[in-house]
Amino acid sequence: MSISNPWPWYIAGPLIGLTVPVLLIFGNKFFGISSSLRHICAACLPSKIPFFQYDWKKEIWNLFFILGIFFGGMIAANFFADPNPVVVNPKLATELTQYGITDYSSLVPKDIISWHSLFTVKGILLMVVGGFFVGFGTRYAGGCTSGHAIMGLSTLQWPSLIATICFMAGGFIMANLILPVILRL
């Protein structure tokens, strides 16, 4: 195992899981990514909107956490990236070829995720409409997948179990029923 290769689930999973007790023991903090967007909006948009009227400075640790994720991702992508194309199962590659996806030179298929494809019907559906649904769902569910599935389930929160089941069901429906229709456009 090296830092430039993906870590196996039995290493990465427990490390992610250990963030929960560390946050709870050392400060009674709750983990979640989507809440940081609220903190950024509260800090940058001084307005009279009640949702943003709170002391966001008490949650500044979360903003540093997000910055760490961002810069860690940038460092990993620029200095530890595997120069070889992404290895895709041959059956999946055959199926993706039917949708016009053939470029596996990066972590995301450039055939559907690029500035050029953003201004197509497929790109608008995937990026803009999909982004709206993710944002709406996150707000409606009271948190994101990381907050509910990692933090909420580990603290035995019933709403987090329901939200995680719905996230998973929605992901299966999207990947198997809706996405193939969009990719055929």
pLDDT class for 94, splitting at 50, 70, 90?
very high
For residue 143, pLDDT beyond 90: no
Residue 72: predicted pLDDT: 92
The sign of the torsion formed by the CA atoms of 125, 127, 128, 132 equals positive
DSSP SS3 for 184: coil
Residue 155 pLDDT greater than 90, yes or no: no
Spatial separation of the C-alpha atoms in residues 172 and 177, rounded to whole Å: 8
| Secondary structure (3-state) at 142 | coil
Biggest distance spanned by C-alpha atoms of the chain: 55
Q: In this structure, are residues 86 and 149 in contact, taking their beta carbons and an 8 Å threshold? A: no
| 151, pLDDT greater than 90 | no
- Give the mean pLDDT of 136-153: 87
Per-residue pLDDT at 1: 63
The structural domains of the chain, with segments of one domain joined by +, span 112-185
- Does pLDDT of 47 surpass 80? no
Nearest to 106 by CA among 123, 86, 124: 86
Nearest-10 Cα torsion for 43, 46, 48, 54? 20
pTM (predicted TM-score): 0.76
Does the pLDDT value for residue 3 go beyond 90? no
Average pLDDT, whole number, for the chain?
A: 87
Neighbours of 111 (CB within 10 A): 17
Q: Is 23 exposed, middle or buried (0-12, 13-18, 19+ CB in 10 A)?
A: middle
